[in-house]
Amino acid sequence: MPTWIGADPDDAYRRRVGVAILSATAVLVVLALVAALLVTRRTAVESAAGIGDPYYPRAGGSGYDVTAYDVHLSFDPPTGRLNATTTVTLTPVDTLSVLHLDLALPVESVRLGATVLRHVQSDGDLAVTAAPLGPLPGAFEAGREIRLEVAYSGRPADVDLGGEGAVYTSGDETLIAGEPEGASAWYPVNEHPSDPARFAVTATVPSGYQAISVGRLVGFDAGPGVDVWRWATDEPTVSYATMLAVGLYDVVQEQVLVGGVETQAVYAVSRRVADGDRAMQWLRTSPTAADTLRPWLGAYPLTSIGGIVPGANPWWGGLETLGRPIYHPQVVGSDAVLHHELAHMWLGDSVTLQRWDDLFINESLATYAEWLAEQARGRGSPQSRFDDLYARAPDSFWRQRLSDPGAGRQLFTRVYDRGAMAVHATRVAMGDEAFFAFFGRWAAQRGPRSLEQWRAQAQEASSADLGPLFSAWLDGTSKVPRRPELGFR
């Protein structure tokens, strides 16, 4: 065998083979990436600009589930200007090329990590285009949690959400709260009750001003010229149960017992309210009111309780913002309103809506819980309220279909009175033992539910056929005949 000294003559051959293999591998990688891109283009879809609710079709966005909002904002009370960055944590259900959020304030940037994403805003809709993510370039991959960081600024008072609005001002005081819309006036959101999420807000305001929101007060820092308020809740809730109030408030924080469980209570009363001491004393009865509801609704579902009476007066009497309902100054002293809004902590804020035409399971059930609480205080029975309403109701009272009440103001027209009558009729038909066992189980649920589920679960718990009763009370548009099978005694 020859002995070679120096370079092996086969080296050049081996190098040529190696280069060929590497080149082939590179081609295969490129082809794989092209194939992945083609797959992405075939499978990635654009989220719809709206979940598709029949009453509010442009509310929210489809194809994803939000798990948390983390809002960091500064607010200047004299000018009403807000500057903020919100992190939205969400998981696409579908592989998306574009996803849609709701936000009425001008957006400066949207980031995914260090990557700036393309965005387009139109009429309160924020469309965010995907950047390369995971194995599917150009898509938000289904099942992969992402955190979008949205930077924006503007004056919420300039926002027009339609309807009655959701931003209320009085001098240097601002309140942002509304149902069915309101959150999109101050943070990017999937603004539909079928997508409850955790919520946190860190609000920086000039020293001496107070920034009130929902959940627990988890921190307060007084800095040079500014104060920082931190609020958070671990209980997922609907966006209309969030709020921001900035102004000059008297604030009381204390630990209270609700159902024997130590709970943080925070009460806030605007210094613009005429009789602030009376309002504060009334708010501080909230733990007792929640305990009054507990025999029918079960354990209080939240880790915070309280209330707020603003000076910037809304058009409604009360709103069930999470753990801290908002009360118009004119309803201060009304235990019925207090019981109603606190009942929503179970019925609406914890058991949420699938669609807006399911509102019966919020307002009608909360009103009936209010009736029960008022009876416990010696203020009339549900049966006497039922009989009185039935005797006095004009023909127009019966014309609206509770299972399809319609959007806008009419959505809230008959759910409080005729809706609560329908709940009482269901109780009479089922019998107290079966009804209250069912009512408690319903209130213990969490997440989106529908009126159809209410009907099905009530029927499952009842030995009587509830079909005719539901057809008459929920679907009918004429006066319900006075018959035993329809819930009459």
Q: Domain tally for the chain?
A: 3
Give the residue-averaged pLDDT of 387-401. 97
Q: Which of 1-10, 194-203, 278-287, 330-339 has the lowest mean pLDDT?
A: 1-10
Q: Is residue 20 a part of any domain in this protein?
A: no
Do 81 and 155 contact (CB within 8 A), yes or no? yes
CB neighbourhood size of 251 (10 A):
16
pLDDT reading at 404 higher than 60: yes
DSSP helix/strand/coil, 28: helix
Residue-number span of the structural domain to which 340 is assigned: 248-345
Q: Is the domain of 208 the same as that of 283?
A: no
> Among residues 246, 249, 357, 342, which one has the least CA distance to residue 301?
342
Q: Identify whether 7 is part of a domain.
A: no
Which pLDDT value is given to residue 52? 94
In a domain, 388, yes or no: yes
108 and 197 fall within a common domain: yes
Q: What is the pLDDT of residues 20-77, one digit of tens each?
A: 444 544 444 334 444 444 444 447 899 899 999 999 999 999 999 999 999 999 999 9
Q: Is residue 417 part of a domain?
A: yes
Q: Quick one: 371 and 474 in the same domain?
A: yes
Whether the predicted pLDDT of 14 surpasses 90: no
Regarding whether 281 and 230 lie in a shared domain, the answer is: no
Is 8 part of a structural domain of the chain?
Answer: no
Last residue in a domain, options 319, 345, 371? 345
CATH number of the structural domain spanning residue 323: 3.30.2010.30
CA-to-CA separations, 354 to 53, 196, 442, in angstroms, rounded: 9, 10, 15
pLDDT (0 to 100) of residue 165? 85
Tokens of 424: 């009482």
291/287 Cα distance (integer angstroms): 6
The CATH number of residue 479's host domain is: 1.10.390.10
Q: Are residues 217 and 93 in the same domain?
A: yes
Show the tokens assigned to 437: 């066992």
Residue 403 inside a domain? The answer is: yes
Q: What CATH number is given to the structural domain containing 186? A: 2.60.40.1730
Q: 3-state DSSP helix/strand/coil percent for the chain, to nearest 5?
A: 35, 30, 35
Beta-strand pair 249-258/244-247: unpaired
**Full-model pTM:** 0.90
* pLDDT tens figures, 237-287: 999 999 999 999 999 999 999 999 999 999 999 999 999 999 999 999 999
Nearest to 147 by CA among 103, 215, 85, 234: 85
Claim to verify: residue 125 and residue 234 sit in the same structural domain: yes
> Could you say which of 243, 272, 291 is where a domain stops?
243
Give yes or no: residues 229 and 265 share one domain.
no
Least confident among 27-31, 165-169, 232-236, 484-488: 27-31
Domain co-membership, 293 together with 435: no
Residues 77 and 205 in one domain: yes
User: Where are the alpha helices (H) located in 344-450, listed in sequence order?
Assistant: 365-376, 382-392, 418-430, 432-443
pLDDT in tens, 296-321: 999 999 999 999 999 999 999 999 99
Is residue 235 a part of any domain in this protein?
yes
> How, if at all, do strands 125-129 and 119-122 pair?
antiparallel
Is the confidence at residue 459, as pLDDT, over 70?
yes
Secondary structure letter of residue 332 according to DSSP: T
User: pLDDT band at residue 132, thresholds of 50, 70 and 90?
Assistant: low
Decide if pLDDT at 341 tops 70: yes
pLDDT in the model for residue 223: 87
- Among 287, 311, 345, where does a domain finish? 345
- By the 8 A CB rule, do 348 and 354 touch? no
Instruction: Assess if residue 3 is contained within a domain.
Output: no
Pairing of strands 210-212, 244-247: antiparallel
Residue 19 scores a pLDDT above 50:
no
Q: What's the pLDDT score for residue 137?
A: 55
Residues 230 and 379 in one domain: no
**What region, left, alpha or beta, does residue 306 occupy, with left being phi > 0 and alpha being psi -120 to 50 degrees?**
left
- Yes or no: say if 282 and 336 are a contact pair by the CB < 8 Å rule: no
Asked whether residue 293 falls in the same domain as residue 227, the answer is: no
Sign of CA dihedral 23, 28, 31, 36: negative
Note whether 58 and 182 are same-domain residues: yes
